[in-house]
Amino acid sequence: MKNAQLMTILFLGLLLQTSCEKKEKDNVKVSNKPLSENINMQPTVLDSNNFIGEIEGKKVELYWIKNENIQAAFTNYGGRLISLLVKNKNNEFVDVVVGFKSIKDYQNSTEPYFGATIGRVGNRIAKGKFNLNGKNYSIPVNNGENALHGGTKGYQDVVWNAEKINDKTLVFTYVSPDMEMGFPGNLKVKVTYSVTTDNQVRMEYEATTDKTTIVNLTNHAFFNLNGEGSGTILNHIVQFNAKEYTPVDKGLIPTGKIETVIGTPFDFTTPHTIGERIKTNNIQLENGGGYDHNFVLKNEKVNGLIHVGSVTGDISGVVMNVFTEEPGFQFYSGNFMQGKNTFKSGSKDDYRTAFALETQHFPDAPNQPNFPSINLEPKAVYHTVSVYKFSK
């Protein structure tokens, strides 16, 4: 009898232990917390040999620009920002831009836009079609029935000419031939990336054409301000100086309306985390699979630039303020990241582990008469500046 009682007690104890272990595992499984700030997130050291080679007969390389507080790595394949080291609240360098450790990884990636300079026209053009001066043009569609970021071979897939002016300045140039991807005019593009003593990454875009064309250039860096490989970006804190946005249809093409953000999950005029309202029952969040929308900026400039807003890494304390001359910006919450690619840190590009904030003219502008024009005439110069400024 005593043996039977002992066996029963042991069985119940084992059952209770198993139950507790299961609860702990379940809690870990469903947890949406970021990685602990105690985890050692040392920036990955890039091997320049992995970026040296030839693509379509043109040389590709790795380039660094830096000062004591910022270090930025680029490749001229796609004019890409590969790595961006800034200092966190502990005065340690953290890599806030996700990217790959080799050119081959960029070529083989299922996501083609990581860190790239985007053109000739960033964002979407409905059905890849537009009319310019009475003539119809077609861009190869690559995003459902629409053209995205310049068509099937945008500027992310070309090799730019690169000139490192000094330790802090890098210039990319590219001549986009007439009718490349269906766009009219020989377009001469110049993009100057520089780092400044006041912790800025400055992006200056210039372009000229010999025929009337359309232009909307931007950079498509994907950020995690806690550091590449640190987990979700849903706890990043966001505040935007934008009271309006452009709603989209299911294909993420603007409806043509400009609507208020007030009273909606798109209201970041006061601080909110990215994830706080992302699962709200809202048709626009449903259409975008989260945030993938253009926000409208007021033309209120300080020192020549509009303050877009700020994003703060909840663990690192890194604050990124964004400034621009553009009328809008695209906020993307990493909705299509699928864990299919491996970053330079060895982490995967998992769902919502990075965000993008692309300064821009509005999507589908050539087909939306009430949106600011992106037309460029032969005697005009396209010129615009955007800035990422970091603090802690």
pLDDT by position in tens, the chain (length 392): 444 444 444 344 444 444 443 333 223 222 333 443 434 456 888 999 999 999 999 999 999 999 999 999 999 999 999 999 999 999 999 999 999 999 999 999 999 999 999 999 999 999 999 999 999 999 999 999 999 999 999 999 999 999 999 999 999 999 999 999 999 999 999 999 999 999 999 999 999 999 999 999 999 999 999 999 999 999 999 999 999 999 999 999 999 999 999 999 999 999 999 999 999 999 999 999 999 999 999 989 989 999 999 999 999 999 999 999 999 999 999 999 999 999 999 999 999 999 999 999 999 999 999 999 999 999 999 999 999 999 99
Identify whether the C-beta of residue 138 lies closer than 8 Å to the C-beta of residue 129.
yes
What global pTM score does this model have? 0.89
Query: Is 220 a known active-site residue?
Result: yes
| Tokens representing residue 359 in the block | 């300064």
Strand partners, 375: 214
Task: Return the closest-CA partner of residue 352 out of 362, 337, 341.
Answer: 337
Residues 214 and 216: their CA atoms lie apart, in Å, by: 7
Q: What is the pLDDT of residues 295-318, one digit of tens each?
A: 999 989 989 999 999 999 999 999
Of the candidates 228, 325, 326, 358, the residue annotated as catalytic is: 358
Of the candidates 149, 180, 220, 236, the residue annotated as catalytic is: 220
Q: Report CA-CA distances (Å) from 271 to 93, 236, 274, 275.
A: 25, 10, 9, 12
pLDDT of residue 41: 56
Which sequence spans correspond to the domains of the chain?
Answer: 49-391
The CATH code of domain 49-391 reads 2.70.98.10
Place of tokens 């992310």: 156
Q: What is the pLDDT of residues 25-79, one digit of tens each?
A: 223 222 333 443 434 456 888 999 999 999 999 999 999 999 999 999 999 999 9
